[in-house]
Amino acid sequence: MSNHIKIAPSVHSDLLGKLAEMKKYHPQQDAPTKAAFILALFDPDSPQNPISTYELYNVVPAPLRHFLGAKDQLLDVDFTDQYPEGQKPLKSQQASATAHPETLAQLIHIPEIAEVKKQGNNLVKVGYVNQMPCPRCACSLAAGHVCTLAIDSSAFDAEWATRRDQEYINMSLKIMEESGTHMIEPQSEVPEWTTGKLPRHRLAGQEIYTNPLSVTEKADIIKGFNAHVQPFNKHTNYTATISIKSRDDFFAIGRQTLTPGIPEDEYFEKLKEQETKYSYTIPPGTALLFALQPHGIDPTEIEIEFDETPAMRDLINILGAGATHIKFPISHDLHHKMQESAEITFRTATHKSDHEEASKEKEYKIYNQLNALKVLKAALGTKLTLEVQPPTPKHDNNAAP
């Protein structure tokens, strides 16, 4: 038997009031808030009071803030420049250094979620947001099983929302619709849900082990995992593994994942549109943190290792969620360049390469990659381990056969 449950009107107006306060002032930026999000957790049968609420803002992750400040666009860079011809992923790997609150809410340590799961009970997640979520955050809300999202009606009037109408709003709406995140206009509706019919699409591509494993066993798991790549992962098939230094009974592995509810053929359709910056996927490190949240693992405890240089967006998300012990490989060339000068130099991000020749574009990319790596290294120090890959042999086309 299923029942229609509505949030108590007083709770709803309290949450709207809280959001309005958050919009006025960002505690870290001494300015109005660009993106404010409240995650409210409810017992599905009793909406009189939320179990707890979390208030989140758009943030440059703490370790990076010191180096970037207002220059956060300087991490607008694609790290994952390692794809065979024709398999280049969408431009979705590009990212600013700002983590978005709708995504962070699904990654941070929330003890109540693990507690409810442990007791075998259900929990309803309701979100309140002051702007239209970007497609990445729409994927996050879907993967995080946010059942209802209350979006401030003024969200659709924002300058960037109009500018990005097609790729931005349409994609976000589509993602939420297909994944079962119900959107409401909070000035005229209150969030509601139907008991027994909560969105429960499973997040694919993540495996979690809660028994002690030897180094060999872990290596075998990684090998087996990488042997079974799903079609959509052929485009970005790096993986992330997570372990906890103080515990030998936790190990997790994951890869980029298609947002639950989105059919694979729609992903491929989107992939053909080279112009768009967004896709329907969640990158490996981020997807793994999603999978960890119900296990009560605090990202600040984890060590996360990537088998390829991860996308910057992926790093920003995991740093924003509190992870700092990170390891990934980088090319010999890039490492060599890092050694030449450890100094971080800033150049404004308006020097986009759209009107420059291809060679300049490449130069700019390397420059940005280098700068982003230097910032990361300076920010994380010994917590960031870069595994330098052996130099790639140079092919001499003029050499005699």
Q: Which residues bind Zn ion (CB under 5 A)?
A: 100, 134, 137
- Give Rg (Cα) of the chain: 22
C-beta of 11 vs 90, nearer to Zn ion = 90
Residue 130 CB neighbour total at 10 angstroms = 21
Q: Taking the CA atoms of 112, 254, 333 and 86 in sequence, report the sign of the dihedral they define.
A: negative
Least distance from Zn ion to the Cβ atom of residue 129, Å:
10
C-beta of 183 vs 190, nearer to Zn ion = 183
C-beta of 137 vs 316, nearer to Zn ion = 137
C-beta of 97 vs 134, nearer to Zn ion = 134
Least distance from Zn ion to the Cβ atom of residue 278, Å:
10
Least distance from Zn ion to the Cβ atom of residue 52, Å:
23
Reading the block at residue 71, the tokens are 């220059």
CA distances from 208 to 136, 227, 290, 337, 350 (A): 24, 17, 12, 37, 42
CA distances from 109 to 53, 140, 142, 162, 176 (A): 13, 15, 18, 34, 24
C-beta of 100 vs 374, nearer to Zn ion = 100
Least distance from Zn ion to the Cβ atom of residue 262, Å:
17
Least distance from Zn ion to the Cβ atom of residue 365, Å:
24
Distance CA 395, CA 17 (A): 64
Least distance from Zn ion to the Cβ atom of residue 348, Å:
23
C-beta of 137 vs 384, nearer to Zn ion = 137
Distance CA 17, CA 104 (A): 21
CA distances from 25 to 31, 96, 157, 286, 302 (A): 6, 21, 20, 28, 32
